[in-house]
Chain A
Amino acid sequence: MLLKIDSVTKKFGGLSAVSDVSFELEEGKILGLIGPNGAGKTTLFNCINGTLPITEGTITFNGEQISGKKSYQIARLGIARSYQVTQPFGNMTTLQNAMVGAFCKTKSYNEAESIGLNALKTVQLDHKAEIVAKHLNLGERKKLEIAKALSTQPKLLLLDEVMAGLTSTEVQDMVKIIREINATGITIIIIEHIMEAIMSLSERIIVLNFGKKIMEGTPDEVSNDQRVIEAYFGVDEGDEEYA
């Protein structure tokens, strides 16, 4: 098992944003994470990568307990994430953005440059390498988020709504990119509202609702499950503005 989440709970004051969630993830897989807005998906990402300390439970990565570690330590162990609201280093160029991540594993400038450039190639952004990041459009920023994460050379990649707000061509593009990344052996957990995309990408899907895991299964099982339809499809349709 690459990642083991064991009864993880995250409380804000009295409120449980994530409550008693457990699952396991094998190396090389793509896992989908869905649920209505406010279900605790992003909070779970924040717990896994150490941005937020968890209240209860344990998280084990590659046989090592990582709950309690700081986010930069977890990044060095091989978990990288992208943000739903993109967080580029606005005044650095696209390549320099990626190089910040590359320095995670190397001290050499030239090596970092080639790692960063490779990451940009993977997301098809290398033609914008010298552009200052604040001038990128939304689709490019989403790609840059992935490139930054990739350049840390992770084993596990957490992608938080990287397709939200993209055009359908861009979405297809992104699906292809994610498949390619996965093909290089990187395990992926992906949060996404675009059902078509997540159903075609994921081997298994976990559904969260009000912080609880209500269902885990193959895309087929999930889309036919009554609880999921009620919790997810019934309640929530208009997430597009969330981009």
Chain B
Amino acid sequence: MINKLLSKNNSVLWIIALASIIVPFFLPNRYFQDIAVMTFLWAGLACSWNLYSGYCNRLSIGHAAYLGIGAYSSTLLYVNFGISPWIGMLAGGAISAVAALIIGGTTLRLKGTFFVLSTIAFAEILKVMTITSKDITKGALGVFIPYEPGFSNMIWASKIPYAFLTWIYMIIVLLICVKMERSKLGYSLIAVGENQEAAENLGVNSSRTMLIAFVMSAVLTSFGGTIYAQYIMFIEPTSVMSLMNSINFILLAITGGMGTAFGPMVGSFILTPISNLLRGYLSSVSGLHTFVLGLILIAILLFRPDGILPQLKLFFNGLIKKSKATKGV
């Protein structure tokens, strides 16, 4: 684990985050623009996951549940009642908040492995409920979103508006994380993750702290779920709420650096394009691209368990020092 409050030196990372919106404009075709959209979206999602699990060092392997709640809430409201996904997004957030309050209220006090397993269990239960409540969710068949472009429908013909939307989503989540790092909540959360009893003795209400962060994380993830649904325009329980999706949150966060505001973004910027390109180029052999991803993850865990961000920071700090030195001369 690394010191999680390194945010003092974030200027370079902020520049990367803000400037990244230029990239989609230079990409030659829709295929690459699609990768950019997924990269921004997963950056935002992984940052949302990180808000609780990364800072508090307690893995949720069930965040696909909140992704699913966000996706299904807005989609069902839109398809059945014509309610704009922008409003559906808020509704999904509210439902996720309630779900996270119930789930968090019962499981956050569980220690280590028990908590991890309970997150998987809740996500699986929700998936099964979605599959079996055919009247509401159309079950395993999934739901198609009709193609009717327009801002109020959150549907566009071009990929560029989606790139903007997902980029804004990512920036908002980043802002929240950075703000939290400099707040009572952030300090309390990290302290609880390090040593719960010692934190309590310094006046930290650990269950409340964890619950607030858990709910925030779930709601932000749910917002991403709505965007995901409006972008893909088709959702079904087994793909949206899959364990693989839950694992992807962790994969990205740990690759970049768990428990740092920008780590998950860095993880997504590196891994999402690699993953998509691998899928494209290695599609002739099914399974190969996930196999390679798994190997990358194992290599990172064995050799760089703090993620790539610390190395990146050292590199940037070195560059900054160098440029200052040359200017000085």
**Residue of B1, B4, B187, B195 contacting most chain A CB atoms (<10 Å):** B187
Question: Of the candidates B1, B4, B188, which one forms a contact with A100 in the assembled complex, judged by CB atoms under 8 Å apart?
Answer: B188
Residues of A within 8 A of B1 (CB): 90-91
Q: Is the CB of A148 within 8 A of B197?
A: no
Residues of B within 8 A of A100 (CB): 187-188, 191, 199, 202, 204
Residues of B within 8 A of A242 (CB): none
Q: Is the CB of B200 within 8 A of A91?
A: no
- Count of A residues near B, CB < 8 Å? 32
Question: Of the candidates B5, B183, B202, which one forms a contact with A104 in the assembled complex, judged by CB atoms under 8 Å apart?
Answer: B202
Residues of B within 8 A of A127 (CB): none
Q: Is the CB of B5 within 8 A of A72?
A: no
Q: Is B282 an interface residue (CB 8 A)?
A: no
Q: Which size bracket describes the interface of B in this complex?
A: 20 to 34
Residues of chain B from 187 to 208 with CB closer than 8 A to chain A in the complex: 187-188, 190-191, 194-195, 197-206
Question: Of the candidates A49, A96, A112, which one forms a contact with B184 in the assembled complex, judged by CB atoms under 8 Å apart?
Answer: A112
Q: Is the CB of B184 within 8 A of A107?
A: yes
Stretch at the interface among A27-35, A73-81, A163-171, A205-213: A73-81
Q: Is the CB of A49 within 8 A of B201?
A: yes
Residues of B within 8 A of A70 (CB): 200, 205
Residue ID in chain B nearest A145 by CB atoms? B198
In the docked arrangement, what's the CA distance between A126 and B200, Å? Answer: 24
Q: Is the CB of A103 within 8 A of B184?
A: yes
- Can you show 17 pairs from A to B with CB atoms below 8 A apart? A49-B201, A71-B200, A71-B201, A72-B204, A75-B200, A75-B203, A83-B198, A89-B190, A89-B195, A91-B1, A92-B5, A96-B3, A100-B187, A101-B203, A104-B204, A148-B198, A151-B202
Residue ID in chain A nearest B2 by CB atoms? A91
Min distance, Cβ B258 to any Cβ of chain A, angstroms: 11
**B 156-194 to A, binary, CB cutoff 8 A, 1 in contact else 0:** 000000000000000000000000001110011011001
Residues of B within 8 A of A152 (CB): 202-203
Residues of A within 8 A of B2 (CB): 91
Q: Is A182 an interface residue (CB 8 A)?
A: no
